[in-house]
Structure 1
Amino acid sequence: MDLTTELLQPPSWRFIDQSVSGLGRSALESFAMDDTLCHLVGQGMSAPAVRTWVHDRTVVLGIQDHRLPFIGDAVSLLETNGWRPIVRNSGGLAVVLDPGVLNITIALTERGRPIDIPAGYEVMLEFVRLLLPEAADRIEAYEIVGSYCPGSYDLSIGGRKFAGISQRRLRGGIAVQVYLCAGGSGAERAELIRDVYETGLNGEKTKFQYPSIRPEVMASLTELLGKPVTVFELNTRVQQLLHALSGGVDRTLLEGEEVELYAKYLKRVVERNAKLLEGI
C-alpha cells in the first residue's frame, strides 16, 4: 500500500461539516479551526479529520498581497463592493470564498512516519479525483499561469483551473486545504482578484511578481462538466467517500478541552489579522 492510499484509509475519519454554519461567520474562524484540528490530530488527540466549510463574499489575502503598495485602496475596493478582506495564516496569494465554493480540509498526523509536502498535496489530489469520478482521468495538477493563487498543484480540466491546494503544518499535524469552485463563474471570481491587483499595484513596479490574472483560465465545475454542480452535492459526496474509505465516520464536534484550544487559536488568528490590517 502506498503512502497516499494509507493516509486516505485510516481505521476511522472524524468529519466536521461547516458547509452551512460557516456562511454567517468569519473565515478567520475556519483558519482557527484548522489550526485546532492540526494540533489535535498531530498530537494523537483525534482521529484524522476532514472538515468542509463555506463562507460568504470573502477575499482571503496572502502575506505578499498585504504588501501591495496600494493595499489600502484594494481593501477599500473590496469593502465598497460588499467583500470582506482577511489575511490568511498560511502561504499563498489571494483567493475568493463565496457560497459557490466548497473548501475541504484534511488533517493528518506525522506520528509514526513523516509526510513531506508533495505527499500532502498528493493526498488531496487523490481525494478530489475520488470525489469526482466522472472527471477523474481529466483532472491535472500543474500551475495554471494567469490564475489567482497559482501553484504547482492547481487542479484543472482542459487547462482551466477549478481548485487550488495549500498546506499548513503545526504541532506534528498537517492541514491540507483545497477550494473547489462548484458553481458560478470562475472568470468573474478571477476578475475580482485582477481588480485587486490592478488597484493595489496602481502601475507601480515591485520586487515580488504578482500574478497577471487572465479570467478565461478559471472555471467552475458546473462550467467544466456541463451540468449543475452544487456545494450541497459535493458535501454529500465527501461524506459518502469518507464512509467508503474507512471503517467508520465520527461526526463529533469540538468538545471539552478542544473548545478551549480552539478559543486560543481563534484569539491568535483574530489578533494577527487585526495587526496586519491596521493602518491600511
Structure 2
Amino acid sequence: MAEIKSLLYQDQWRIIDQSGIAPHFNALESFAIDDTLCQSVGSGYSPAVIRTWVHADTVVLGIQDTKLPQLEKGLRFLEENNMKWVVRNSGGLAVLLDEGVLNISLIFPDTERGIDINRGYDAMWELVKIMFQDYPYGIEAREIIGSYCPGSYDLSIRGKKFAGISQRRIRKGVAVQVYLCVSGSGIKRAELLKQFYTHSKFNESMKYVFPAVQPGVMASLSELLNEPITVTDVTQRLLEAVKCTGGQFYMSSLQGKELEWYPHYFERMVDRNRKFMEK
C-alpha cells in the first residue's frame, strides 16, 4: 500500500480540467496534450498532473485494431453511425467515448530506477476507489472476459466493467489514463463496438486476438450505483479525492514551453492517423 501512496500522494498536483464538452475538441488533441505533459513533467518543468477530458461520439482504436482483417468495413460502420474514430498512441484496444464518459490522466515523472508498470495502474485504481469510497460496493481490478478493451486492470463492480486503464511512457514521463463510463448504457456502447468488430471480421484474424464482445458485462456507474451520476459529479469527486491525499493542488492549463512543445506532438498524432487512413 505504501508504494501506491508514493505515486498517488504527491506534494503538489497540477489539475487541468477539460471535462466540458467542446464540439471541436478532437481526441487527437488529448493524446498530444498528454504527450506534451509527459515531457513537461518528465523534465521537471511541471509538477505531477491530473487532467480530465471528455470527447463526443468517438471510437478510439488501439494500434492492434489497425490489423483487423476488414478494418475498412468496420470504420465505414462507425461513420454510418455518426461516430468519429482515431488511433491512439497508448496500449489497448478500441474504446468508445461520448459525453457520459470521463477520462482521467495521471502524469508522473519517471524516476531514475523507473516506475514499475503495475504501480501506475495501482495508483489509478486507488484513486477511483477513494472517489467512490462512500458507496458500499467494492471496486475490483481484474480482467472482465467479454468486455471491450479487456485487460488485467479492468475496473468493475459486481462483475460489470465500467472502466479500463492504459499507460504510456515518453520523455521520462508516465501517463496513466482511465476511461470511466459515468452515465448512459454500458450495453449500448458495447453493442456498437461488438458490431464494429463483427463488420471488421475480427474472428478471421490469424495473427491477432480480438475480443468477442459480450455487451452484458459492461455497465455505467449510474447503472451500477443505481442513481443518476454526471461527469460533473465525478469531476467533483476527483477533486475531493485529491484533497484526501493531503498534497496541495492548483488549477492550470498548458503554459510556457508546453505551448511550444504541443504542436510537435499534435502533428505526430495527425501523421499517425493519416498513415492509417492511407493504408
Q: Deviations for 1:176-219, whole angstroms, at most 9, x for unmatched residues?
A: 00000000000100001100110001763432111100000000
Question: 5+ residue gaps in structure 2?
Answer: none
2:244 alignment partner in structure 1: 244
Matched, 1:88 2:88: yes
Matched, 1:77 2:58: no
| CA apart distance, 1:113 | 4.8
Report the CA distance shift for 1:9/1:171 in structure 2 as closer, same or farther (over 3 A): same
**Which stretch shows the higher mean deviation, 153-162 or 17-26?**
17-26
2:36 alignment partner in structure 1: 36
Q: How many angstroms apart in 1 are the aligned matches of 2:205 and 2:82?
A: 28
Report the CA distance shift for 1:161/1:203 in structure 2 as closer, same or farther (over 3 A): closer
1:128 alignment partner in structure 2: 128
| CA apart distance, 1:111 | 2.8
Q: How many angstroms apart in 2 are the aligned matches of 1:46 and 1:136?
A: 37
Q: Deviations for 1:26-73, whole angstroms, at most 9, x for unmatched residues?
A: 100000011011111111111000000000000001111111111111
Q: How many angstroms apart in 1 are the aligned matches of 2:137 and 2:224?
A: 14
Contact residue 144 and residue 151 of structure 1 kept, 8 A? yes
Q: Secondary structure at the match of 1:179?
A: strand
Q: Secondary structure at the match of 1:24?
A: coil
**What aligned pairs does 1:35-74 form with structure 2 within 5 A after superposition?**
35-74=35-74
Aligned residues: 279
AA partner of residue 252 (structure 1): S
**What aligned pairs does 1:1-280 form with structure 2 within 5 A after superposition?**
2-111=2-111, 113-135=113-135, 138-201=138-201, 204-279=204-279
Report the CA distance shift for 1:21/1:205 in structure 2 as closer, same or farther (over 3 A): closer
**Which stretch shows the higher mean deviation, 250-259 or 157-166?**
250-259
| CA apart distance, 1:22 | 4.6
Contact residue 74 and residue 197 of structure 1 kept, 8 A? yes
Q: Secondary structure at the match of 1:166?
A: strand
Contact residue 108 and residue 173 of structure 2 kept, 8 A? yes
Which structure 1 residue ranges, 4+ long, deviate > 6 Å from structure 2?
A: none
AA partner of residue 241 (structure 2): L
Q: How many angstroms apart in 2 are the aligned matches of 1:136 and 1:267?
A: 45
| CA apart distance, 1:137 | 5.2
The normalised TM-score by structure 1 is 0.96
| CA apart distance, 1:225 | 0.5
Contact residue 68 and residue 205 of structure 2 kept, 8 A? no
The normalised TM-score by structure 2 is 0.96
Q: Deviations for 1:144-190, whole angstroms, at most 9, x for unmatched residues?
A: 00000000000001110000000000111100000000000001000
Contact residue 202 and residue 210 of structure 2 kept, 8 A? no
**Which stretch shows the higher mean deviation, 244-253 or 210-219?**
244-253
Q: Secondary structure at the match of 2:212?
A: coil
AA partner of residue 207 (structure 1): K
Q: How many angstroms apart in 1 are the aligned matches of 2:229 and 2:257?
A: 38
**Which stretch shows the higher mean deviation, 243-252 or 57-66?**
243-252
**C-alpha RMSD over aligned residues:** 1.5
